Chains A and B, each alone.
Chain A
Amino acid sequence: MNGGRGAGSEGKMEADRVGVEKKINKDLLGPVFGFPRNFWKASGVLSLVVFAGILAFVWLLINGLGVAGINRPVMWGFFITNFVFWVGISHAGVMISSILRLSRAEWRLPMTRAAEILTIMALFTAALHPIIHSGRPWRTMYWAFPYDFSRMLWPNIRSPIIWDVTAILTYLTSSAMFVYVALIPDLAIARDRASGFARSMYGRMALGWTGTSRQWKLHGIASVLLAGLILPVFVSVHSVVSWDFASLTSVEGWHSTVFAPYFVAGAIHSGVSAVVVVMALMVWFYGWKDYLRPRHFDAIGKLLIAIAIGWFYFYILEFVFGMYSLEGPELAMREMVTFQPPWSIYQIAFLFTAFLIPVSLLLFRRVRRNVLAMFLIGITVNIGMWFERFLIVIPGLARKQPFTFVWGTYRPTLVEILIVAGSFALVFLGILMFAKFFPLVPLSDVKEGEASRGEIQIGRARFKATLQD
């Protein structure tokens, strides 16, 4: 050890820099190496709800799809509504991580991983629903994968169901890869703080990361490359899901050419709102108010206004163009949804919760900077967006078609309600479990933000060195 520079004020600055990084490690790895206050309560409650959902699914397997409320002509019910809803939520991660990364919005840094994990859990949960809806999950293997060489049974690639499988598996794999690559430096930090078996596991997952300048450079390039590559997949996934409906020309309200962009915009709207909910929970549950500050909520609130208006434009477009054709059955379906209860009540609830109330409130800065208000807005938007999916799926089928001699409406059963509730619990339980083993806020991104913080002088004015919004 040699004496040298680093004395006096410079020494204090140096100590502060190391101190800041130590504090970031301690704060953000806290839930990994310890247990948050209500961890067991939260995971216990969520596990119970998931278990109830699993029991309902087992009941459905034993007794067949007859225990669900679907019947002719409404053969798509809660499961498909929930499938579309969760695929929509899964658009959160890419919106926050890819688009904001490519646009260099600095405020995204602390929330990227939570959004990405929400994406993975939501997509995984979404993928379960068509399998559950099939009633005979093992048979979905024949439909989806070309493996039965002996009987010459192949998937029908003309079916939108196969497009769904392809798009969702691509998006799920890509999102998982995106998360893993971003996680490698943080796994190295966890490795250096862990001991015994945990150290060995984190060491293996970190692949020998030491943070050389070459590794960081390639990590940065890979992040941008993956962000750019995953964007078209992100657009394709909900477009393909919309074609599940749009390709069925015989159902009113479904055969719309604007469905793909309408679905993608709606997905971003509900996904980003769900990120707001997760952010608020992170502040309350993990006490990360120093990392998720009012300015982060403010920025995402502004983003939500823009997204909501964009989505609403597509909604109006879809509604008006549907009527513009002046087709009798289409007009009758629109009239039913607008004027006949209970559809009209759902429609009003959806318009108020998904757009009118949240956007009106988000215009106020004080609301955007209030964690509780933002949490409630996020929940409200997602209630509305769930209704929106419900109103897309059911009314078109529920209206009596020509030559349909057996018809009726749809009432969900307890089995369906429990499975839907279980799906919500599964997503949050998945995020909770991920946060138990891996950092939910990207440490290296937060450190990068800290390192690049500061001010520059231009003329007589001083400006922040990092772009904030």
Chain B
Amino acid sequence: MFKDQVLGLCRNPETAAQAVEALENKGFSAEEYDILTATPYPEGTFGESRHRHRLYVFPFVGAVLGLSVAVLITVGTQIFPPIVTGGKPILSIPPMIIIMFEGTMLGAILFTVIGVIFESRLFGPKLGLYDRRITEGYIGLLVTSSPERVTQAEEAMTGAGVQEFKRLPAGAGGR
């Protein structure tokens, strides 16, 4: 199903919060609208619902993978050379712990970065419906829904004090 998009631009957080309230009063779900800002306002500033995510899983996966690679490298580089040890243990555990620790941490950190990119849906430079003024302090309210619902959203936001809108019809490419 094709969906229209409308972007309302507010000049302050209070108007944005009122617009979000107006949208919710009209029955818009959290999946239908988003708030775009250039400032990290605390979660809930605009009355938006909490986002669920799985970012915490990524460092654990990375840590396990990093540890596995480190174990392979440390064990492998000690076992492969055909050294006669006269019955003494081949593996030297204390240095292995240092390298395994670094490998574990590196894996966890790299996967955290992958996680934040994946969970934030940062998949490429394409922006969709957007306005450059958002990075100058304007607050954008992006509604994505059927054409009729988008018209309703525009009316609701207008009633809450939003003064400027940009609209993207279904199927049109955003900038």
Question: Which residues of A pack against B, CB within 8 Å?
Answer: 1-6, 10, 13-15, 17-22, 25, 146, 152, 154-158, 162-163, 166-167, 169-170, 173-174, 177-178, 180-181, 184-185, 188-189, 192-193, 200, 203-204, 206-222, 225-226, 229-230, 232-233, 236, 240, 443-444, 447-448, 450-452
A232 to B109, CA, bound (A): 12
Q: Contacts of B89 on A, CB cut-off 8 Å? A: none
Q: Contacts of A452 on B, CB cut-off 8 Å? A: 42
Which residue, B78, B137, B159, has most C-beta atoms of chain A within 10 A? B137
Q: Contacts of B78 on A, CB cut-off 8 Å? A: 154, 157
Q: Contacts of A162 on B, CB cut-off 8 Å? A: 95, 99
Q: Taking CB as reference atom, which chain B residue is nearest A221?
A: B55
Question: Which residues of B pack against A, CB within 8 Å?
Answer: 11-13, 15, 34-43, 46, 48, 51, 53, 55-56, 59, 73-74, 76-78, 80-82, 92, 95-96, 98-99, 101-103, 105-106, 108-110, 112-113, 115-117, 119-128, 130, 132, 134-138, 140, 142, 158-165
Q: Taking CB as reference atom, which chain A residue is nearest B101?
A: A236
A5 to B95, CA, bound (A): 67
Beyond contacts A188-B38, A218-B120: 16 other A-B pairs, Cβ-Cβ < 8 A, are A3-B163, A4-B163, A17-B12, A22-B136, A157-B99, A158-B95, A163-B95, A170-B105, A193-B132, A206-B125, A211-B37, A212-B35, A213-B34, A219-B120, A229-B112, A230-B105
Q: Contacts of A214 on B, CB cut-off 8 Å? A: 34, 51, 53, 120-121
Please tell me which one of the listed residues B38, B55, B80, B110 contacts residue A211 in the complex, with CB atoms under 8 A apart.
B38
Contact indicator B35/A213 (Cβ below 8 Å): yes
Question: Min CB distance, A229 to chain B, in Å?
Answer: 5
Contact indicator B77/A174 (Cβ below 8 Å): no
Contact indicator A158/B125 (Cβ below 8 Å): no
Q: Taking CB as reference atom, which chain B residue is nearest A168?
A: B102
Q: Contacts of A22 on B, CB cut-off 8 Å? A: 136-137
A163 to B76, CA, bound (A): 16
Main secondary structure of the interface of A (DSSP, over half): helix
Contact indicator B135/A448 (Cβ below 8 Å): no
A449 to B115, CA, bound (A): 26
Contact indicator B11/A222 (Cβ below 8 Å): no
A184 to B11, CA, bound (A): 23
A3 to B96, CA, bound (A): 69
Question: Knowing A6-B15, A444-B39 touch, does A177 contact B113 (C-beta < 8 A)?
Answer: yes
Contact indicator A2/B55 (Cβ below 8 Å): no
User: Can you name 28 A-B pairs with beta carbons within 8 Å?
Assistant: A2-B162, A4-B160, A5-B161, A6-B163, A25-B135, A154-B81, A155-B77, A157-B73, A166-B102, A167-B98, A177-B110, A178-B109, A185-B38, A189-B38, A209-B120, A210-B128, A211-B37, A211-B134, A213-B41, A216-B37, A218-B116, A218-B119, A219-B120, A222-B112, A222-B115, A225-B59, A240-B98, A452-B42
Which 4 pairs between the two chains have the least Cβ-Cβ distance?
A21-B137, A5-B161, A207-B122, A18-B137
Q: Taking CB as reference atom, which chain B residue is nearest A444?
A: B40
Contact indicator B162/A4 (Cβ below 8 Å): yes
